[in-house]
Amino acid sequence: MLTNILALCYIALAWGSAFVLIKLNEETMGPLVIQAGRCTVGFLALLIISIVLKRDLAGHAKHWFAWLVFAILGIVFLWVVTALGEEYITAGLATVMVTVSPLVTFIITVFFLRTERFSVLGVIGLILGVAGLVLVVGIHNILGGSSILIGSLLIISGFSAFAINGIIAPRLASGTDPIASSTYYTGFATVILWVIAFIFEDPMSTKLTVQNMTTEIIMGVFSFASGFVVYYWLLNRAGPFFSSMTFYLIPIVGIVGGFLLLGEKITMIQVGGMLVVFVGVYLINRVKFKKEP
């Protein structure tokens, strides 16, 4: 149990910090180039690790379809809409949107796949989670269709797809090595992201600085490569329900990081909404959490 909890905290720190770093790089780089660049760094890091540790890359090639699915749902779509969404909202607010993942996981596993037991507490948690997100985004922003709503919906759609990916992953590639598998789907994602970047942006005109290059490396190695390896390791070890608990911690990292590094502010209503979301996510995962070894 302790190992699982430590893994959750590490993933939250790795992924939560990425939102802040993306915001920093948006001052000098296009959103798509940012994501393609950090994916490239992450892929190279994973490839080197796989070779050094002598992972069976050749043997994992047979799961190419699974890696392609993971690349599209777990990286490409998520990263593109997140980068675009962060052009409208703060990094701290963006991290709160990731809590939609356990909510979507609950809906799919309980009401559609029925692999998890229905519970009244879970439904209450789902309702609270949605209500909390409404408070965080702001009712006036929702009714007025502001740019904050647009940014929030973009990121919500990305983490909804990521939740689906988390449910599919153990079924498509059960028992595979997390490092080898991460190398493959990162490679697919790198190619796709660069194609998208060249279509919609002009990567060749990007001005590289020491700051944005350093940020890209940190995002690629720490936020992405190590974070995804630990996430898929935890996904195979503890399943999608427990793994989704990491989204309970990411907003804390994002809000604190946004405040310290970017000077972002958050209202008391948003803080209250975030707490409501946390309570909802906890209720959804309460029974499952108690059963974890």
| Closest alpha carbon to 281 in 145, 38, 146, 107 | 107
Q: What are the Cα distances from residue 236, in Å, to 54, 187, 263, 270?
A: 21, 21, 38, 34
pLDDT score, position 170: 77
As a whole number, the mean pLDDT across the chain is 89
pLDDT tens-digit series, residues 55-99: 999 999 999 999 999 999 999 999 999 999 999 999 999 999 988
Does residue 154 surpass a pLDDT of 90? yes
Q: State the chain's maximal CA–CA distance in angstroms.
A: 55
| Closest alpha carbon to 75 in 204, 169, 170, 174 | 169
Whole-angstrom distance, CA of residue 19 vs CA of residue 21: 6
Whole-angstrom distance, CA of residue 238 vs CA of residue 225: 20
Q: Across the chain, how many H-helices and E-strands are there?
A: 15, 0
pLDDT score, position 290: 52
On the 0-12 / 13-18 / 19+ scale of CB atoms within 10 A, 76 is: buried
pLDDT tens-digit series, residues 88-147: 999 999 999 988 888 898 899 899 998 888 889 889 999 998 999 999 988 888 877 789
**pLDDT > 90 in the chain, percent:** 56
Q: How many domains does the chain have?
A: 1
Does residue 289 surpass a pLDDT of 70? no
* 228 CB neighbour count, 10 Å cutoff: 24
Does residue 22 surpass a pLDDT of 90? yes
Does residue 240 surpass a pLDDT of 80? no
| Closest alpha carbon to 82 in 105, 66, 65, 100 | 100
Q: Are 16 and 249 in contact (CB under 8 A)?
A: yes
φ and ψ of 165, to 5 deg: -60, -40
Lowest mean pLDDT among 116-130, 183-197, 203-217, 233-247: 233-247
Q: Are 80 and 196 in contact (CB under 8 A)?
A: yes
Whole-angstrom distance, CA of residue 10 vs CA of residue 246: 9
pLDDT score, position 288: 56
pLDDT tens-digit series, residues 176-197: 888 898 899 999 999 999 999 9
φ and ψ of 203, to 5 deg: -55, -30
Per-residue pLDDT band for 236 (boundaries 50, 70, 90) equals: confident
Per-residue pLDDT band for 292 (boundaries 50, 70, 90) equals: very low
Q: Which domain holds residue 198?
A: 2-291
Does residue 293 surpass a pLDDT of 50? no
Token pair in block for residue 54? 């002598």
- Length of the chain measured in residues: 293
pLDDT score, position 169: 81
In the DSSP assignment, the letter for residue 222 is: I
At which residue do the structure tokens 């995962």 appear? 285
